[in-house]
Amino acid sequence: MSLIDRTKDLLKKREKAEGGGGEKAVKRQQSLGKLTARERILALLDKDSFQEYDLFIRHDAQDFNMANKELAGDGVITGTGKIKSKPVCIYAQDFTVAGGSLGLMHARKITKIMDHAIKMRVPLIGINDSGGARVQEGVNSLAGYGEIFYRNTKASGVIPQISVILGPCAGGAVYSPALTDFVFVVEGISKMFITGPQIIKTVLGEDISMEELGGAKTHTQLTGNAHFYAESELECFEQIKELITYIPWNNTKKAAAFKARPPKPKYNINNIIPNDAKEPYDVRNIIRAISDESKFFEVQKDWAKNVVIGFSRIEGESVGYVANQPDFMAGVLDVDSSDKAARFIRYCDAFNIPIITLVDLPGYLPGVDQEHAGVIRHGAKILYAYSEATVPKLTLILRKAYGGGYIAMNSRHLGADFVFSWPNAEIAVMGPEGAANLIFRKEIAMANNPDKVRQEKMDEYKEKFANPYVAAGKGYIDAVIEPHETRKFLIHALEVSSDKSVQTPERKHGIPPF
């Protein structure tokens, strides 16, 4: 055969393999409202930037009449490409080929592209759409999962890892996304669970739909397993592209800087917070009031809403926010919000993104359920994450900072680089009501008019402690600032911290309260 003939043969082979599971299976995929694996990759990556590898891989199943079956690409597409002109490694499971089931060679393709990503220090994006383990391949398919998890763990904190759930992701398969940095889900398409509804029904008699058990809303609102929710696959890809702008390409780099732009005048920082410390407001408006273009890219916005986390830019530089949300559960810390904040702090620290902490909280949520759910060890995660983090850490106390919450929210004592406070801040062991009742219990009980005495004692306590000057007097706060000066102070603090360097004693790793 001549080279021309051989080339024709190659093109024929390529076309066949690129057809995935064939027309019928592709039609079925489309009828479920899903794009094909190839369409997904092309929609996510820059135009004409995708290079595919291992298209002709052959599966390894010998038994159960599998030996002569052809599985295009063994049910997964892998390759490299670019997003916003920067390189990424990517894989997408192809549900049209044997249900995207994971056999040995399917897994080898994935681990090979993962190894590339780790070696080349570029982000890894995994698109999951798979019926699960290929049962015909037995323990080999389990081996495949394990080898993926191992690499997810090794890559953690070295390169950004993004998981996109665009179909079923069940059983052991869920643990790869769970080990990665960010999980994206789409309404009606994503399904994640360890044990499916059928087994739950036969074994336990509990009747639940796939959507309620592990759909997109379940994981963004209830479990916190997913970070971003989208109505459609295309919206999901736009979210991924936006996220990518805020994070660096690997842990040795900083996120790309953008042109500095002022916040929008619509967000007037002087008018957002009510004077009464018991009145709610949306802390995200404070973030918008200090961020470039008033843009805030929120992470996990529908779960543990009492703490807000996410990215924005200040003078063009990427920053991560952790902020108490008085609008929801009074902004308390509890089991879930501690988990949420702590993981995000560690993410920012691993990828050189300065952390800005906005404080306005009454403390930890009281209750038997919280105590018995282990709020001690969960709450400790925040302390650990802040204390461990060596990126620039800035804190702004907006209003209340009471008790353990004051310490936990990146206080000076946990290594904050700069702590600012607005003049209306109340920094104390507890709120005036609680404190008056505790310190002056006897006086109040013995008074002819207990309510009046309580009020007097509350006022006295407020006067004495409910202000930032006691903390400022000890140097726990670096500056008490006017609200309108906030952005200026933060910009300066970020500028002077840009070469921050911290030496920590050598160790294998710490033992955070997982």
Partner 1 sequence: MSEDKKYEFLNINETLYKTQISDNFKNRKKWEIPDVSKVFSFIPGTIEQINIEVGSKVNEGDDLLILEAMKMRNRIKAPISGTIKTICVKINEIIPKNHLLVEFE
Interacting residues with partner 1 (CB under 8 A): 203-206, 278-280, 282, 305-306, 326-332, 362-363, 365-369, 372, 402-403, 430-434, 437
Cβ atoms of residues 292 and 314 within 8 Å: yes
Could you tell me the smallest distance in angstroms from the CB atom of residue 224 to partner 1? 12
Nearer to partner 1, 63 or 207 (CB): 207
Could you tell me the smallest distance in angstroms from the CB atom of residue 213 to partner 1? 15
Contacts of 23 (CB under 8 A, 6+ apart): none
Could you tell me the smallest distance in angstroms from the CB atom of residue 375 to partner 1? 13
Nearer to partner 1, 28 or 452 (CB): 452
Cβ atoms of residues 220 and 336 within 8 Å: no
Could you tell me the smallest distance in angstroms from the CB atom of residue 332 to partner 1? 6
Nearer to partner 1, 205 or 473 (CB): 205
Nearer to partner 1, 99 or 197 (CB): 197
Q: Give me the residue label for tokens 């102070």.
A: 489
Contacts of 2 (CB under 8 A, 6+ apart): none
**Assigned token pair, 426:** 């109340």
Burial (CB count within 10 angstroms: exposed 0-12, middle 13-18, buried 19+), residue 415: middle
Nearer to partner 1, 337 or 395 (CB): 337
Contacts of 234 (CB under 8 A, 6+ apart): 43
State the alpha helices, DSSP H only, in 130-232: 139-155, 175-179, 197-199, 210-214, 216-217
Nearer to partner 1, 124 or 329 (CB): 329
Nearer to partner 1, 23 or 369 (CB): 369
Could you tell me the smallest distance in angstroms from the CB atom of residue 448 to partner 1? 22
Spatial separation of the C-alpha atoms in residues 211 and 292, rounded to whole Å: 38
Spatial separation of the C-alpha atoms in residues 329 and 321, rounded to whole Å: 19
Could you tell me the smallest distance in angstroms from the CB atom of residue 46 to partner 1? 35
Nearer to partner 1, 9 or 279 (CB): 279
Spatial separation of the C-alpha atoms in residues 102 and 108, rounded to whole Å: 10
Could you tell me the smallest distance in angstroms from the CB atom of residue 308 to partner 1? 13
Could you tell me the smallest distance in angstroms from the CB atom of residue 148 to partner 1? 26
Q: Are strands 393-402 and 355-361 parallel, antiparallel or unpaired?
A: parallel
Q: What is the DSSP string of 59-102?
A: ----TTTTTT---GGGGEEEEEEEETTEEEEEEEE-TTTGGG-B
Element (H, E) at 196: none
Cβ atoms of residues 110 and 74 within 8 Å: no
